Structure 1
Amino acid sequence: MAKYTRKQKELIENWDAQIDFLKSSIEIFDKGKVMEAIRIAQTLRVMFHNTEKSHSIYERLNNNIIFKSSSGLYSPFNLISSWMLLSVELSSDGISYQPKLDNPVDRLFFYDFEDWWNQVIFDDKKNVFSRKDIVVYVANKDGGAHFDDYIPEKYANLIIYNSLGVSDMNGSISNNPMYMAIRVIAQEVIDSVELENYSKERKSVIIPRSSFEVRFLDENEVVRFTWSSTDIQQGNSEDQKSILSKFKLSKRKLFYKYFGDKKVEYIKK
């Protein structure tokens, strides 16, 4: 018999099912079952990850959702590591990473998918990691599709050898930063989908006199961070300008985007 091509209705039904899976896994994670992050990563991979042989549900649906970023704006001038979606908490159990979920930053931005998916969320000063990097690694190699015998060096540094540099008096950290970040990514997706469904009334208004761009942290121009010469109070010294100039840039524009009576700041090409 011939191959069967899925209909649009089936893709929409599966997308809705993945959203339900995310919500269920979030509930389990929040009850203390942090290994549920592996299942969250699997769901996110199905929703968003493209390969040479397969395309994500998001791409096949030609979705045009804008994505909430709980990350503050990354600074390439930091001399210490960055963990953009997390906070650090000290308790009787030691030091741990915690997901930034409630009012995570002073100023929230929304992005098109590629800028959001490939935005840097960890920088241990040896390697940088995007949302895509973390989701795909956990889904493919950390017990999702496979549980590999060996952990690649850059991921081992992050989760085994504590390359982010946060530790208690014994030199240890009590949880896995990748799992905590995945919890935040799942929430960003849920919040973004809810905004998309909030109202069919849409309007975008460009914000004048704001200059934004993305800068690429790798030679392949994939992993990136957002920068602004008008809205960030850094980058004006000659040394900082020299550092910034090392990263290729792509221009962006800042908009107010309205969904009915809700307004968000949206950075787009």
Structure 2
Amino acid sequence: MNLTEKDYLNHLIEQIDFLQNSCERFDKGVVSEGKRIAVGIRTLVHDTKNSVSLLTHLDVKNKLYYFNTAIPETKFGLTGIRTTTEGGGKTIYVAPLDKLSDKRKEQPLITFNKWWTEMKVISDGNNKFSRKDLIMNVANKDGGAHIDSKLNKSYSKLTRENSLNVFHQDNANQLTSVKGVELASIRQIAFELIRTLSRKYPKYFSNLA
């Protein structure tokens, strides 16, 4: 039995619900939910020779313009950082969501290929990462839907070795690496994709996560 458009739309409703629920949990502090977000984004937009994304099944993926909040080829392309002082303080990466600087509003809508692969949304000076790079490393290798025994070298440097050189300095002037840029970035990618889909399918969104 071949699926119908109605079947695909029902799947879309489910995927939107999954994605928004994961975003809500992430925003409440369950940062590991970023890995589930990555899997949901992969399901919606990533095509291979062996699998077809849901938006391709719906024949809309390459017809949409995608909401873009990145500052390309910068350390904080999709994220900001926040430092607190409570309990000795900490510094974390944060997704800006809709709190956007003018710089983040310069290219508000872009084609899928530019959004997914062409635009580099993180740069550590030596390595540059697209949205696809982040999503596929997390979803396929780093605990989203699969765990590989070996990670991509540049992704490992970004996530394990602090190649962005971002540190938290405590009251004793001790420095610790700030981690989690990949998950905060994925949260922002989800924000962009939710805004993109809500323009096409507004009735499927009870809220915008």
- TM-score, normalised to structure 2's length? 0.84
Richer in helix (by share):
2
Q: What amino acid maps onto 2:79 in structure 1? A: L
Question: 2:113 aligns to what?
Answer: 114
Q: What amino acid maps onto 2:80 in structure 1? A: S
Q: Distance in 2 between matches of 1:128 and 1:194?
A: 29
Q: Does 1:94 align with 2:90?
A: yes
Question: 1:221 aligns to what?
Answer: none
Aligned length: 190
Q: What amino acid maps onto 2:101 in structure 1? A: V
Q: Distance in 1 between matches of 2:121 and 2:145?
A: 23
* Residues 96, 173 of structure 1: alpha-carbon distance in 2 compared, 3 angstrom cutoff: farther
Q: What amino acid maps onto 1:191 in structure 2? A: R
Q: Does 1:61 align with 2:65?
A: no
Identity %: 32
Question: 2:200 aligns to what?
Answer: 196
Richer in strand (by share):
1
Q: Distance in 2 between matches of 1:188 and 1:37?
A: 14
Displacement of 1:198 in angstroms is: 5.2
Q: Does 1:175 align with 2:179?
A: yes
Q: What amino acid maps onto 2:112 in structure 1? A: F
Which of these two proteins has the greater Rg computed from alpha carbons? 1
Question: 2:28 aligns to what?
Answer: 31
User: For 1:50, which of 47, 50, 66 is the aligned residue?
Assistant: 47
Displacement of 1:102 in angstroms is: 2.8
Q: What amino acid maps onto 2:134 in structure 1? A: I
Q: Distance in 1 between matches of 2:132 and 2:92?
A: 23
Structure 1 residue runs of 4 or more that deviate by more than 6 Å after TM superposition: none
Q: Secondary structure at the match of 2:167?
A: coil
Structure 1: gaps (5+ residues): 76-80, 200-269
Q: Distance in 2 between matches of 1:91 and 1:173?
A: 15
Displacement of 1:186 in angstroms is: 0.7
The superposition leaves residues 112-157 of structure 1 with CA deviations (integer Å, 9 ceiling, x where unpaired) of: 2111112211111111101111011111111122222332211111
Question: 1:218 aligns to what?
Answer: none
Question: 2:16 aligns to what?
Answer: 19
Q: Distance in 2 between matches of 1:187 and 1:91?
A: 24
Contact kept in structure 1, 2:124 and 2:163, CA below 8 Å: yes
Q: What amino acid maps onto 2:95 in structure 1? A: P
Question: 1:147 aligns to what?
Answer: 147
RMSD between superposed Cα atoms in Å: 1.8
Q: What amino acid maps onto 2:65 in structure 1? A: I
Task: Point out which structure has higher relative CO (alpha carbons under 8 A, 6+ apart).
Answer: 2
Structure 2: gaps (5+ residues): 204-209
